[in-house]
Amino acid sequence: KQVRWDRGGIEPAGEYTFFYGNRNEIHELGTGFFVHKRIISAVKRVEFISDRISYTVCAKMYSCWCDIIIMNVHAPTEDTRRRV
């Protein structure tokens, strides 16, 4: 999910928890994750690499034998006017 909120943080959102990272100086970009309350205990780590890249590591769940990594990448589109 792309976000435009200041700073990074964690916010409750109904049955979900929203993890969000920093956006850039002009309130663009930024990434975040909504995690359902049923699996929130499986979240080991949420990392925000930049205003465009983040990931979360979830512990072994159900019959899965390994941790799960979910990446969130916001890429520029072809119609962007600003050079990145």
For residue 6, pLDDT over 80 is answered with no
Cα torsion 82, 32, 55, 14 to 10°: value is -170
Report pLDDT for 56: 85
Q: Give the separation between CA 24 and CA 18, rounded to whole angstroms.
A: 19
Report pLDDT for 80: 56
pLDDT in tens, 10-64: 889 999 998 888 665 665 667 888 999 988 888 998 888 887 888 888 887 667 7
For residue 5, pLDDT over 90 is answered with no
Q: How far apart are the first and last CA of the chain?
A: 19
Report pLDDT for 36: 92
Report pLDDT for 68: 84
Long-range contacts of 39-43 (CB under 8 A, 24+ apart): 43/19
For residue 83, pLDDT over 70 is answered with no
Count of C-beta atoms within a 10 Å radius of residue 46: 21
Global pTM reads 0.69
Q: Where are the domains of the chain?
A: 9-73
The b/e string for 56-67 (b: 16+ C-beta within 10 A; e otherwise) is bebeeeeeeeee
